[in-house]
Chains A and B, each alone.
Chain A
C-alpha cells in the first residue's frame, strides 16, 4: 500500500492476498474437524500410493470395511484385534499426556506376555489350579511385568534425566530377545519356536465358550480382555478428568516448570505414570497369550505397541477416544494382512500420523484474506 504522491505512482488496483495469522481462540469443533480432515487426507494419499504400486485402492478399502465389519463374526475378530490396541493405546495416551514419550509399549506388551506365561510355564502356580486363581494371577503377573519394564525407563528419566525415547526403544529390542530366549530355549515345545499350549484354565473366557448355552455366540472369539480394556479406558478417563492426580498429570504435561512451582513431585509422577503405562501394555500382552494364541511365541504382536502411538494421537490422548481409534485400527490390521504389498499398512499408519500432526497447524493459525 503506498501513500498518495509516492514515487510508486498511481495507486494500483488493490489485490487480495492470503495471509496466515495466529489464532486468538480455538472453536470447540475445530480439533475434531482437523482430525477427520487429516485422516481423510491420509486415506486419499494412501489410495494414490496403492494405485501407484499396482493395487486397487477402492477395492482394498471396501475389502477392509467388509472384512472388518461385514458380519457379526468379523466384528468379533475386529474387537479381538482392537483389545490390545485399546490397552496399548491407553498406555501411550496416558504417558503422552504428561509428555513422556513411551515408545516402548511394544516391549512392555511382550514382557507382560512373558510374565503371564511364566505363571503357567515355570510354573508359578501348581498345575490343575482352577481358572479363578490362574486368570487373576496371570493378569497380575502380566501387569507387573509390563510395569517393571516401564519402571526402568521411568527411573532413568526421573533420576538421571535420560532421554526416554531411546531408553524405551532399546528395551523393546531387549524384550524381544528375552522372549526369543525362552521360546527357543527352556520353554520350547518339541524344538519348535513356541511353547506348549496353555491348559484350559489359563485361557481367558471367550464368548464362544458359551456356545453350548447360547448357540448364536458360537465362533465369536472376543474374550474377557476386551472388558479389561473398556474398564481401563473409563477408569483412566475419570482419573484424568476428575482426580487430583489427573490434574497433576495434565499440568505437568502442559508446563513442567509450572508443575514444579505448584509443588508437584515430577519425578515421582514420572515413575508412576511409566509403571502404569507399562502395566497397561503388559495387560495387552497377557490378553494376547491368554485370550488369543494360548501360548507364548515370538510373533505375538504385529506392532501393536507402535500402532498404539497413532491410536493415542488420533484420540488426542482422550481415553474414550482411544476406544474408537483402536477399533478403527483393529479393522485395518485385520484386513490389512491381505493387502499387497506387505508394507502398505505400515506406510498408511505413518501417513496418517503425519497428516495428524500437520493438521494441528490449523489450530494455531487461520487464513485471512487481506486487501492490498
Chain B
C-alpha cells in the first residue's frame, strides 16, 4: 500500500523492525518504505542505526522483531544470498571486495553460474562490455588493490547490477570521494532511477542528502524521527534538528590567527607506501605554532603516509625539521621525544591496545619518564592517579580506569587517545581522521579540544576526508593529490570548488558550468 495512491507495490517495506545487540538497541521499532524509481535517503548521525537497518535488508542480520516485504511479498532473508536473489544489493562502507583478486573474479564471487570452470577470459570481456554500457570505466583484469577508491566503488556497483539488482543500498558512498566524483556518482544514480531502479542512500551529510534524495527518512538513536518526508521544501536546519534533537553548532568559535614560529618544516619529502609504490613524491610544507593546517584530499593520495613520516612510522627521503631539529632518519621514539603527538587513523589497531586497561593505554607516551617511571620501575600508583585525573578531565565514560580499552565506545576511545596525546604537551599534533565514525557530541568534543590546542600555541596538522571539517577548523588548507601538495590557501580565501578541483588533480575533466553541490560556507 503506497501513500500516494499509486498501485505499484513498494520496492521495500519495513514494519516494526527491532534489532538488539549486547548493550544497545540498534533499531527500535523502525518503519521504512522505498518506492520504485526513487532515491530515498536514510539520514542520521553515526550510531543512529541506519547501517544496521540496511544490513537487515541486505540479509546480513536477522531482525529480532518486525517484518519485511519486497515488491509487496513478505520475505525472510537468512543470508546475503537471499537478499541478492530478491534483487537487493548493498554496497557497504568497507567494500566487500577481495583486494588480491581481479575485478572479474570479484564480480563472479558468490554466483551460481559458472558452476565449476571459471572461464575468466570470456568473463573479462563480458564485464568490460557491461561496464561500458553503464558508463562505468573499469579494467576487468585489474586487481582490486590496484584501483582507486572511486574505481572500487564502481566495481561494487557493477557487481550488483550484474546480479540484476533493482534496489541499490549505498552506505556512506561519498565519504571517500572528492566533490567532482560525488557529482559523477549522483549522475549515475539518477540514470539508474530513470531506468526503474530504486536507491537507498545512507548518509550523515545534510547537504548531499538534500541534493540527491527524493524523500528522506531521519533516524536518531535507533528510532525514526521523520519518515519519508519530501526533500523539496526541507531545510538543513530542519534536518539537523531531526538528526540530533537540538540546534547543531555551526562552526566552532575561533580566535584570530596568530602564527608563531615554524614547528614543522618538510622539504621535498619522498616516501613509499606499503606496496612499495611512491606515495609522497616531493612534499614540502610548513606548519607554525598556533595554527591548524588542514590537509584536504581524497583517500589514498598520500595523506596516511604523510602523517606516518612526520610521526616516525615510515622511512622517507628528504628533510623533515621538527622544532629546529633536522633528521633524515626518524623513529617513532625520536618523534615522541621531539614533542610530536599522533592521533592515528586506526583507533583500535594502532592508537590503543584493546586488551590493556585504560590506565595502561594512557601511559603509552609517558611511561618512560618521571613521574610515571622511576628508573626502570613503573610507579603504579602514580600511573593510576594520572589515569583518574585524565578520565575526569576528558570525560572518558567507563566504569573505571581498569576497564579494558576494547570495551570503550568510539567516542570515548578517541577521548582517551586525545587525552594521552595532549597531556604530553606536544609542540606538534598530527590528527588523522579524528572524527570518523563518531556521533555529533563526540565530534564537537574533538573539535573543541583541537581548537584549545591551537589557543595554547601548538601546531596541528589535521588530515580529514571531510572537507567541511577541514574548512571549519583550519587556518590554512593544503590540497594533496598523488603525493604532491598542489596548493596551500588561507581558509578565508579558499574557494570550495577550486579545492575540489585540485583534490581530483586540477581539472577533474568536468565542464565549469557544473553547479556546485556543496555550499561555500563551512559548517554543518
Which residues does A use to contact B, with CB under 8 Å? 1-3, 6-7, 21-26, 242-247, 250-251, 254-255, 257-265, 372
Contacts and interface: CB of A to CB of B under 8 A. Distances in A.
A372 B18 CA distance: 13
Interface stretch (B98-106, B136-144, B328-336): B328-336
A245 B373 CA distance: 11
B522 interface: no
B15 interface: yes
B508 interface: no
B376 A245 contact: yes
Interface in B361-377: 363-365, 367-368, 373, 376-377
Contacts of A26: 404
B350 A261 contact: yes
29 contacts: A1-B66, A3-B65, A6-B67, A6-B74, A242-B378, A243-B376, A244-B367, A244-B368, A244-B373, A244-B376, A244-B377, A247-B367, A247-B378, A250-B360, A251-B353, A251-B360, A255-B352, A255-B354, A257-B346, A257-B350, A259-B353, A260-B332, A261-B313, A261-B342, A261-B351, A262-B336, A263-B334, A264-B333, A265-B331
B341 to A, nearest CB: 11
A21 B22 contact: yes
Contacts of A1: 64-66
Contact of A2 (B67, B363, B373): B67
B376 A263 contact: no
A258 B350 contact: yes
Interface in B307-355: 311-313, 331-336, 342, 344, 346, 349-355
Contacts of A2: 67
Contacts of B364: 251, 258, 261-262
Contacts of B365: 262
Contacts of B363: 247
B511 interface: no
A265 B353 CA distance: 16
Contacts of B336: 262-263
Contacts of B376: 243-245
B378 A244 contact: yes
Contacts of A7: 74
B232 interface: no
Contact of B64 (A23, A25, A258, A372): A372
B16 interface: yes
Contacts of A247: 360, 363, 367, 378
Contacts of A372: 64-65
Contacts of A24: 22-23, 407
Q: Give the residue among B311, B312, B365, B368 with the most A Cβ atoms within 10 A.
A: B368
B332 A261 contact: yes
A250 B356 contact: yes
Q: Give the residue among A258, A261, A372 with the most B Cβ atoms within 10 A.
A: A261
